[in-house]
A and B are shown apart, each in its own frame.
Chain A
Amino acid sequence: MSSQPRSTDNPDVSPDAAPGSTPGAGRAVSAPLIGRGHEPTIFEFSHSGRRSWSFRETGLPEWSAEELVPDAFRREEPVALAEVSERDLVAHFTRLSHRQYSVDLGAYPLGSCTMKYNPKVCDEVAGLPGLTRVHPGAPASLTQGWLELLIRLEETLCAITGMAAATLQPAAGAAGELTGLLLMRAWHEQAGRQRRRVIIPDSAHGTNPASVTLGGYEVTTVPSDARGCVDLAALRAVLDEDVAGIMLTNPNTLGLFEEDIVEMAAAVHDVGGLLYYDGANLNAILGVTRPGDMGFDIVHMNLHKTFATPHGGGGPGSGPVAVSPRLVPFLPGPRPVRQVAGAPGDTYGWSMPPQSIGRVHGWHGNALVLARAYAYILANGGDGLRRVADAAVLNANWLRQRISGTYDIPFDRPSMHEFVASAASLKRRTGLRALDVAKRLLEEGFHSPTVYFPLIVDEALMIEPTETESPQTLEELAAALERIAEAAGEEGGLDAAHAAPRTTPVSRVDEARAARQLIPTYDARP
């Protein structure tokens, strides 16, 4: 593990050269823009003695490592990292960015992920020095602005979901789920109820059952009916006093609103269970209806979906959890709170709920993500958020109708913000699978939909256009999906589809080999 980075053949340069001006720094030319070459790793650009770093003059005594660290703890050789000039560093990561699709480049109709455009004003908010330069361990008296921001966001999220209070600590949706299940457990246990099971529909996200297990519960799966919603009779059949609760996504992962939600809520509450709302699809109902009004007790939100905080290639997210009044005493803490009016001292402070399940994050959650989401909500306002839902639902329904002659729509009725198409007929007719459709769509310049999910639909293509794509973009997307289907039926069309994508930085990637001959680091290369 201590191998030195490989060097290039570039001539020696003075390690003292100013950053950014290193003479002879290589590879500024022949950059593989979206296309055919491979980009070497940063380690292959390394050249001993080259550097980017610089630190300020401190005037401190220059004690040596030997004077500062006892022998038993001190390493002999420095950690081998890439040694590159700032110029090479910028070229490398800029070229990497050119090998990456993103929302800023184009449509990203990845179902269930709500890949809407992320307004730039929120980036600027997240860069305000008054927010970024605050240590999370500073006392409340020194962080009143942050506390007010968090409280205002909490209150806003409660207004949107119809809940009483929320924790902003969970760092992602799955963290919110587990937090919610621990709240469920704490609520039952304080009343002396030992319950073992949590119900999940067969259309649920994989994080749901995984979270249930980590929450110490067993999963009971309830099937969907012919209309794509939870089978109410089947649900009633599995409900008893061993059920701690149910986790539901509404609209569900088929993009369909669970029309029997009120009856389902009553049935679960009748056996003393709680309803958990997976907020992955909250975008569809902003200002239309609220989980609290439907009867949900625990609600997690994905701020990186509904409230447009950028997804960062797989995070950071943010997964606040809002609850009904009876669960407030169990929320994670400490919570930001308004101090009693008229009392001396600060306006805002921290408080640990009396029966808190404890901390679920090292500090206060992904705070700068929370600030972005708050800015997004302020910019939209109540009226704007309703327009978000309207446009998202309209776009999804338009696209569903538009491609319904080409692809199967297994549950062909009005959907909410997304819908699930299927390539099953297409596959029977031409051999083209959902995976091939996805790869061909990459060639057409779009990101692909979510494929093979939900699991209850054969050859699933889960499509969520979001509210931020224009009718013109949707028409282009529909036309591309049609072209893909048509071409598959032509002579040699299937072979061409199997060869897709050919216009991307790499062609289809050998996933099986990656797992069989694991190369998890540059140093592990054969």
Chain B
Amino acid sequence: MLGFLGLGHIDDLYSAVPAALRLAGGLDLAPGLAEADVLDTLADLAGANRAADLVCFAGGGAYDHDIPAVTRALAGRSEFVTAYTPYQPEVAQGVLQALFEFQTMLCRLTGLEISNASLYDGASACVEAVNLAVAQAGRQTVWVSQGVHPHWRQAIATFAVGTGHRVIDVSLSGGVTAWPPIDSAAGDAPAALLVQTPNFLGCLEDLSAARAVADEHGALLLVASDPVSAGLLRTPGELGADVVVGEGQTLGMSLGFGGPYLGLFTCRASLVRRLPGRLVGETVDTEGRRAYVTTLRAREQDIRREKASSNVCTNQTLMAVTAAIQLSWLGTQGLRELALRCARGTRYCREALVGIDGVEPAASAPVLREFAVRSPVPAPVLIERLADEGFLAGLAVGEGFEGSEYEGCLVVAVTERRTRAQIDAFATAFEKAVR
């Protein structure tokens, strides 16, 4: 091949690279390993993660749900795994149709008309929702409930530096958002209110009340919601949300140390021209057959360039396909049953823990799939102690709640995988750990 190019040596390929920039001696990395050695190396690292063997009571947007063999097998099909973005729809109908089905399911879950084909995660979905609302309302201020996952709030703050948005934190009372009284609201009218339900402490937020506050200000209502909880709860769309975002990890993705997860983004039809990310639509081919294609492409960065309101290109398509498979495995009754089982375990566990001397609920508001408790021992210490007993006890309430009454509390999540025996053992260990 070199001869065909009239070159004598492989280095001649790089004649355009100035000699001073050439890396003498190559990369300072070890030589390549055989496959078996690669696996051994990674297995050793994996073996050093004690958390993998603990019975998991941690949540906060990452839950220990069952992932059936069929979801793993179908989502692992290499045609889905090794395809690129569907730029040539004639050879990408598989991914496009799976995304169309995903969009349909998300709209049914959230009660809105439009779903995109995914964003990176719950945090990025919140950031994009804020950007959409600011552009739509023509105002720079956004009210964000303290009940929104603290990491997501931090991501909103990070990106607001670039866009110049003003983010106002709205604190909690009794575990739920205490929106400021209308007449006391100082400063600019907000473009939007962002609230999460169930919130980071596990409490159910009153969306109708949030809608009323939004209406007083002419603001959009942005709701972060959990797709599993949707099995039992009224849809945010029905309760007045303009945009519903969320973390879709619960729909067939492993805990995986935080990724890849799935950013969910749905909105009202009237907002579709501001939708971030890709949208798949149904159309026909030249023979009139049903076909799918990414559509309203003029919104996207590769066409609008510096005028685009989002820079998203690669998203989390494979995770959206996974979610479509998982939701089809669950079906109408399975999703309800899943939510019900999470709620049953949560109530049982909450009653067991608050029955322990010195342990009390951190909030009085109703909960669904997780809850926060206050104990005489700070949560980080509790987590370390219970790890020695074989449990990942939950998440510590810390960053994002500094100085609040919730700081130092423990958020405990219970999924359908937790048995009565496990919860009983957890409660026994908990009692010992708080002494």
Which of A21-29, A47-55, A423-431, A486-494 lines the interface with chain B?
Answer: A47-55
Q: B88 interface residue, CB < 8 Å from A? A: yes
Cβ contact within 8 Å between B232 and A68: yes
Query: A residues 1-41 with Cβ under 8 Å of B?
Result: 1-2, 5, 15, 38-39, 41
Q: Of residues B4, B56, B108, B151, which shows the largest number of chain A Cβ atoms within 10 Å of its Cβ?
A: B108
Q: A377 interface residue, CB < 8 Å from B? A: yes
CB nearest neighbor in B for A15? B333
Cβ contact within 8 Å between A143 and B51: yes
Q: B182 interface residue, CB < 8 Å from A? A: no
- Give per-residue flags for A421-458: 1 if the beta carbon is below 8 A from chain B beta carbons, else 0: 00000000000000000110010000110100100000
Cβ contact within 8 Å between A518 and B296: yes
Cβ contact within 8 Å between B149 and A362: yes
Given contacts A79-B336, A137-B60, contact A96 B94 (CB under 8 A): yes
| A281 partner residues in chain B, CB cutoff 8 A | none
Q: B282 interface residue, CB < 8 Å from A? A: yes
A143 CB to nearest B CB, Å:
5
Give the docked Cα–Cα distance between A125 and B284 (Å): 40
Give the docked Cα–Cα distance between A381 and B335 (Å): 46
| B114 partner residues in chain A, CB cutoff 8 A | 520-521
Cβ contact within 8 Å between B335 and A81: yes
Cβ contact within 8 Å between A369 and B259: yes
- Give per-residue flags for B36-80: 1 if the beta carbon is below 8 A from chain A beta carbons, else 0: 011101111111111111101010111010101010011011111
Give the docked Cα–Cα distance between A138 and B31 (Å): 34
| B285 partner residues in chain A, CB cutoff 8 A | 506-510
CB nearest neighbor in B for A379? B38
Q: B435 interface residue, CB < 8 Å from A? A: no
Given contacts A210-B305, A290-B23, A316-B316, contact A448 B88 (CB under 8 A): yes
Cβ contact within 8 Å between A75 and B233: yes
One of A38, A100, A501 near B94 (C-beta < 8 A): A100
Q: A339 interface residue, CB < 8 Å from B? A: no
Q: B186 interface residue, CB < 8 Å from A? A: no
Given contacts A55-B338, A101-B83, A442-B91, contact A121 B113 (CB under 8 A): no
Cβ contact within 8 Å between B46 and A205: no
Cβ contact within 8 Å between A63 and B29: no
Cβ contact within 8 Å between B5 and A178: no
- Give per-residue flags for B239-267: 1 if the beta carbon is below 8 A from chain A beta carbons, else 0: 00000000100000011111111000000
Cβ contact within 8 Å between A210 and B296: no
Given contacts A313-B84, A367-B259, A382-B29, contact A138 B58 (CB under 8 A): yes
| B286 partner residues in chain A, CB cutoff 8 A | 499, 507-508, 510
Cβ contact within 8 Å between B50 and A142: yes
| B257 partner residues in chain A, CB cutoff 8 A | 131, 134-136, 143, 146, 363-364, 367-368
| B230 partner residues in chain A, CB cutoff 8 A | 79
Give the docked Cα–Cα distance between A130 and B85 (Å): 30
B422 CB to nearest A CB, Å:
9
Q: B387 interface residue, CB < 8 Å from A? A: yes
| A344 partner residues in chain B, CB cutoff 8 A | none
Give the docked Cα–Cα distance between A206 and B395 (Å): 39
Give the docked Cα–Cα distance between A498 and B268 (Å): 37
B421 CB to nearest A CB, Å:
7
Cβ contact within 8 Å between B259 and A178: no
Q: A182 interface residue, CB < 8 Å from B? A: yes
- Give per-residue flags for B356-394: 1 if the beta carbon is below 8 A from chain A beta carbons, else 0: 000000000010100000000000100110010000100
Which of B214-222, B319-327, B401-409 lines the interface with chain A?
Answer: B319-327
Given contacts A144-B48, A506-B289, contact A294 B111 (CB under 8 A): no
Q: B183 interface residue, CB < 8 Å from A? A: no
Size class of the B contact interface (CB-based, 8 Å): 35 or more
| A369 partner residues in chain B, CB cutoff 8 A | 259-260
Given contacts A55-B416, A171-B259, A288-B14, contact A135 B62 (CB under 8 A): yes
One of B39, B295, B315, B319 near A518 (C-beta < 8 A): B295
Q: A271 interface residue, CB < 8 Å from B? A: no
Given contacts A59-B421, A93-B74, A142-B49, contact A132 B383 (CB under 8 A): no
Given contacts A206-B303, A285-B17, contact A104 B82 (CB under 8 A): yes
| B311 partner residues in chain A, CB cutoff 8 A | 174, 177-178, 207, 210-211, 214
Query: A residues 354-372 with Cβ under 8 Å of B?
Result: 357-369, 371
| A380 partner residues in chain B, CB cutoff 8 A | 32
One of B283, B316, B345 near A519 (C-beta < 8 A): B283
One of B90, B254, B278 near A314 (C-beta < 8 A): B278
Cβ contact within 8 Å between A311 and B82: yes
CB nearest neighbor in B for A155? B29
Given contacts A42-B101, A130-B46, A212-B306, contact A99 B319 (CB under 8 A): no
CB nearest neighbor in B for A395? B1
Give the docked Cα–Cα distance between A310 and B321 (Å): 14
Cβ contact within 8 Å between B387 and A100: no
Cβ contact within 8 Å between B395 and A73: no
| A335 partner residues in chain B, CB cutoff 8 A | none
Cβ contact within 8 Å between B237 and A1: yes
Give the docked Cα–Cα distance between A130 and B39 (Å): 12
Cβ contact within 8 Å between A304 and B314: yes
One of A51, A105, A386 near B27 (C-beta < 8 A): A386
Cβ contact within 8 Å between B259 and A316: yes
Query: A residues 270-316 with Cβ under 8 Å of B?
Result: 285-290, 293-294, 302, 304, 310-316
A474 CB to nearest B CB, Å:
9
Give the docked Cα–Cα distance between A303 and B114 (Å): 31
Q: B105 interface residue, CB < 8 Å from A? A: yes
| A72 partner residues in chain B, CB cutoff 8 A | 206, 208
Cβ contact within 8 Å between B233 and A69: yes
B179 CB to nearest A CB, Å:
17
Cβ contact within 8 Å between B366 and A312: no
B353 CB to nearest A CB, Å:
15
Cβ contact within 8 Å between A55 and B331: no
- Give per-residue flags for B82-105: 1 if the beta carbon is below 8 A from chain A beta carbons, else 0: 111111111111110110110111
Cβ contact within 8 Å between A182 and B324: no
Q: A459 interface residue, CB < 8 Å from B? A: no
Cβ contact within 8 Å between B50 and A128: no
Cβ contact within 8 Å between B33 and A83: no
| B298 partner residues in chain A, CB cutoff 8 A | 515
A82 CB to nearest B CB, Å:
5
Query: A residues 393-438 with Cβ under 8 Å of B?
Result: 393-395, 397-398, 401-402, 413-414, 416, 438
| B321 partner residues in chain A, CB cutoff 8 A | 312-313
| A438 partner residues in chain B, CB cutoff 8 A | 88
Given contacts A52-B329, A93-B98, A259-B16, contact A442 B247 (CB under 8 A): no
Q: B123 interface residue, CB < 8 Å from A? A: yes
Cβ contact within 8 Å between B158 and A52: no
CB nearest neighbor in B for A97? B79
Cβ contact within 8 Å between A55 and B66: yes
A478 CB to nearest B CB, Å:
11
Query: B residues 412-435 with Cβ under 8 Å of A?
Result: 416-421, 423
One of A144, A186, A414, A514 near B49 (C-beta < 8 A): A144
B338 CB to nearest A CB, Å:
7
Give the docked Cα–Cα distance between A466 and B255 (Å): 33
Q: A317 interface residue, CB < 8 Å from B? A: yes
Given contacts A41-B100, A90-B74, contact A148 B45 (CB under 8 A): yes
Give the docked Cα–Cα distance between A96 and B98 (Å): 8
| B85 partner residues in chain A, CB cutoff 8 A | 113, 311, 313-315
| A520 partner residues in chain B, CB cutoff 8 A | 103, 107, 113-115, 272, 279-281, 295
| B78 partner residues in chain A, CB cutoff 8 A | 102, 104, 310
Q: Of residues A130, A289, A439, which shows the largest number of chain B Cβ atoms within 10 Å of its Cβ?
A: A130
17 contacts between A and B (CB under 8 A): A75-B235, A78-B336, A98-B94, A110-B87, A133-B53, A206-B301, A207-B313, A256-B16, A257-B14, A288-B22, A293-B21, A313-B84, A383-B26, A397-B5, A414-B15, A507-B287, A515-B297
Beyond the given A46-B331, A360-B158, could you list 6 further A-B residue pairs with CB under 8 A, ordered by the A residue number? Answer: A51-B334, A174-B301, A358-B157, A382-B27, A394-B5, A513-B283
5 shortest interchain CB distances as A-B pairs = A363-B258, A130-B46, A312-B318, A100-B94, A136-B258
